[in-house]
Structure 1
Amino acid sequence: MHRGLKSLLLAAPLGVAAMAGCSAPADPQVTFYSHGEAVEVAPARFCDPGGEQCSPPPADPVGELHVPERSPLQISVPGEVSATPWQVAYIYRDADGREIDGRTPVFRPDERRTYTLRVPADGTRLEHVEVQQYSAVLTADADGGVDFGISGTWVLDPR
């Protein structure tokens, strides 16, 4: 796992809300599509907006999809995700072997349900992608500002 973006998965509290005899609704899936192939990915982390009740993570929280060099990656989120602020964080390796991370702007609620990620066409390889859904939880950061918590994370490692 990549250290920076994947640290959320390691530090995420794993609270479980379950009631005997009741079936909970399925967690939202994010669809990743490239070069004629698609994969639906379950959340590696999914919590209520307050970040208190979290679904247990799947056994394998990382989706895989073949994304050829120079090919875009299309991402489609369900209404449950697009109704909240969300963004895409990614890591790619450039032609010189350097690891470069980036992120999209934060999309406002109901602004969009899809995003196409394009990496430079100079031999760059996409290595890691996360869709991150923001929660209503605010925490103070070291610089005196605030950080929003992440309530949902969907992870893809292109191959």
Structure 2
Amino acid sequence: MRRVLPILLLLVVAACAAPHDPEVTFYADGKTVTVQPTQYCDVKSENCDVDTQATGVLKVRPGKPVQISVPGDLAKTAWSVKFTYRDAQGTPQEPLRSKLFTKNDPQYAYTLVLPNPGDQLESVEVQQYGSRIEASTTGTFDFVARGTWVLSVDDRK
């Protein structure tokens, strides 16, 4: 009975601990980095925690893919990947976005492939959407991001 009590106490303490925010893992060129969200809000995209230091950094060579892995809590919600890049001549391109993944077809991983082989990735954002919708300046409606996980790309040679 003496050994059972400490184990039960640990289980109770662990069960009472606040759940941690979901983490996203990025993989490129044989290296991985796991990041906390730079912003994480409740489902209404309110009451947000912000951590500007949570950004991850990976070296990614021109034209190389980045693999992204998300936990089940994120995979079973609405999310997408937004990224910035420049072409082989160094000209910044318009940011692009992956398709929207939803709970109807959970997506646990995504491989980001740039449009052309010589393109250089600059940054990646995994964005989880909440239930709040806002009108955009173009007259359309957009879901507001609930959580954002950021990867900055180190493109030094």
TM-score over 0.5 for the pair: yes
Deviation at 1:80, TM superposition (A): 1.1
Q: The residue matched to 2:43 in structure 1 has which SS?
A: coil
TM-score by length of 1: 0.79
2:126 matched to which residue of 1? 131
> Pairwise CA RMSD of aligned residues?
1.7
Alignment of 1:62-77 (within 5 A): 62-77=55-70
How far apart, in 2, do the equivalents of 1:145 and 1:48 lie?
Answer: 23
TM-score by length of 2: 0.80
2:98 matched to which residue of 1? 104
2:3 matched to which residue of 1? none
Q: 2:64 touches 2:117 (CA, 8 Å); kept in 1?
A: no
- Runs of 4 or more above 6 Å deviation: none
Gaps in structure 2 of 5+ consecutive residues: 1-15
1:6 matched to which residue of 2? none
Instruction: Report the structure number with the largest CA radius of gyration.
Output: 2
CA change 1:25–1:63 in 2 (3 A) is: same
How far apart, in 2, do the equivalents of 1:143 and 1:123 lie?
Answer: 32
Q: The residue matched to 2:73 in structure 1 has which SS?
A: helix
How far apart, in 2, do the equivalents of 1:144 and 1:56 lie?
Answer: 29
1:61 matched to which residue of 2? 54
Gaps in structure 1 of 5+ consecutive residues: 1-21
Which is further off, 108-117 or 49-58? 49-58
- The residue identity in structure 2 corresponding to 1:87 is S
Kindly indicate whether residue 76 of structure 2 is the aligned counterpart of residue 83 of structure 1: yes
The percent identity for this pair of structures is 44
Higher share in helix: 2
- The residue identity in structure 1 corresponding to 2:76 is A
How far apart, in 2, do the equivalents of 1:96 and 1:63 lie?
Answer: 26
1:157 matched to which residue of 2? 152
Q: 1:114 aligns with which of 76, 98, 109?
A: 109
- The residue identity in structure 2 corresponding to 1:80 is D
CA change 1:111–1:95 in 2 (3 A) is: same
Kindly indicate whether residue 37 of structure 2 is the aligned counterpart of residue 52 of structure 1: no
Q: 2:31 touches 2:58 (CA, 8 Å); kept in 1?
A: yes
